[in-house]
Amino acid sequence: MKKSENEKAWTICPECKGLGKKSQKLQKKFRLQYKKALEEFEQSNKEGIPPIRPKAHLNSCINCAGSGLIRSEKFPEVDNENYPHIAIIGGGIGGVALAVACLHRGIPFTLYERDTNFEARSQGYGLTLQQASKAIEGFGIFSLEKGIVSTRHLVHTPEGKVIGEWGMRKWLSSVNQKVTKRTNIHIARQALRLALLEQLGGHDSLKWGHQLVNFKENDNKTIELSFQVNGKIQMAKADLIVGADGIRSTVRNLLIGDAITPLRYLDCIVILGICPLSALEGLDSPLLDSATVFQTGNGNERIYIMPYTSDSVMWQLSFPMEEAEAKALSAKGCEALKEEALLRTQWHSPIPQILKATKANQVSGYPVYDREVLTTELLEKGKQITLLGDAAHPMSPFKGQGANQALLDALALARGIYKGCGPFSNWKATGIRKSVLTDFETEMLERSAKKVKDSAEAAQFLHSDIVLLENNQPRGSCLKGKDLME
Ligand SMILES: Cc1cc2nc3c(=O)[nH]c(=O)nc-3n(C[C@H](O)[C@H](O)[C@H](O)COP(=O)(O)OP(=O)(O)OC[C@H]3O[C@@H](n4cnc5c(N)ncnc54)[C@H](O)[C@@H]3O)c2cc1C
Residue 392 burial class via C-beta count within 10 angstroms: exposed 0-12, middle 13-18, buried 19 and up: buried
Q: Tell me the average pLDDT across 258-271.
A: 96
| pLDDT tens per residue across span 448-467 | 999 999 999 999 999 999 88
Q: Which residues of 201-237 are buried (b: 16+ CB within 10 A; e: fewer)?
A: eeeebbbeebbbeebebeeeebbebebebeeeeeebe
The pLDDT of residue 182 is 59
Domains, the chain, in order of start with CATH, read 76-122+189-262+372-453 (3.50.50.60), 264-370 (3.30.9.30)
Q: Is the peptide bond before 350 cis (omega within 30 degrees of 0)?
A: yes
The pLDDT of residue 173 is 64
Amino acid at 356: K
The residue to mutate among 114, 233, 308, having the most atoms of ligand 1 within 8 angstroms of its beta carbon, is 114
The atom number, within ligand 1, closest to the CA of 389 reads 26
Q: Tell me the average pLDDT across 183-201.
A: 90
The atom number, within ligand 1, closest to the CA of 193 reads 29
Question: What residue's CA is closest to ligand 1, atom 27?
Answer: 246
The residue to mutate among 89, 117, 127, 387, having the most atoms of ligand 1 within 8 angstroms of its beta carbon, is 127
3 state SS of 308: strand
Q: Tell me the average pLDDT across 431-446.
A: 97
Q: What is each CA distance from 380 to 256, 262, 408, 442, in whole angstroms?
A: 10, 18, 21, 11
Enumerate residues lining ligand 1, CB below 6 A: 89-95, 112-115, 125, 127-128, 189, 211-212, 244-246, 250, 270, 272, 316, 389-391, 397, 400-404, 406, 485
Alpha carbon distance 76, 167 (integer Å) = 41
The residue to mutate among 88, 89, 93, 314, having the most atoms of ligand 1 within 8 angstroms of its beta carbon, is 93
Question: What residue's CA is closest to ligand 1, atom 39?
Answer: 245
Ligand 1 mean position, distance from CA 263 (Å): 15
Lowest average pLDDT, out of 53-67, 145-159, 173-187, goes to: 173-187
Query: pLDDT tier at 178 (50, 70, 90 boundaries)?
Result: low
3 state SS of 154: strand
Cα-Cα-Cα-Cα torsion 91, 95, 98, 99, nearest 10 degrees, comes to -20
The pLDDT of residue 477 is 67
Ligand 1 mean position, distance from CA 84 (Å): 25
Alpha carbon distance 401, 42 (integer Å) = 46
Please tell me the total number of residues recorded for the chain in this structure. Answer: 486
The pLDDT of residue 219 is 67
The atom number, within ligand 1, closest to the CA of 245 reads 34
**How many other CB atoms sit within 10 Å of the CB of residue 5?**
11
Ligand 1 mean position, distance from CA 470 (Å): 34
| pLDDT tens per residue across span 112-145 | 999 999 888 766 788 999 888 888 999 999 888 8
Highest mean pLDDT among 6-15, 39-48, 132-141: 132-141
| pLDDT tens per residue across span 321-379 | 999 999 999 999 999 999 999 999 999 999 999 999 999 999 999 999 999 999 999 99
Residue 461 burial class via C-beta count within 10 angstroms: exposed 0-12, middle 13-18, buried 19 and up: middle
Instruction: Say if residue 482's pLDDT is above 50.
Output: no
| pLDDT tens per residue across span 379-435 | 999 999 999 999 999 999 999 999 999 999 999 999 999 999 988 898 999 999 999
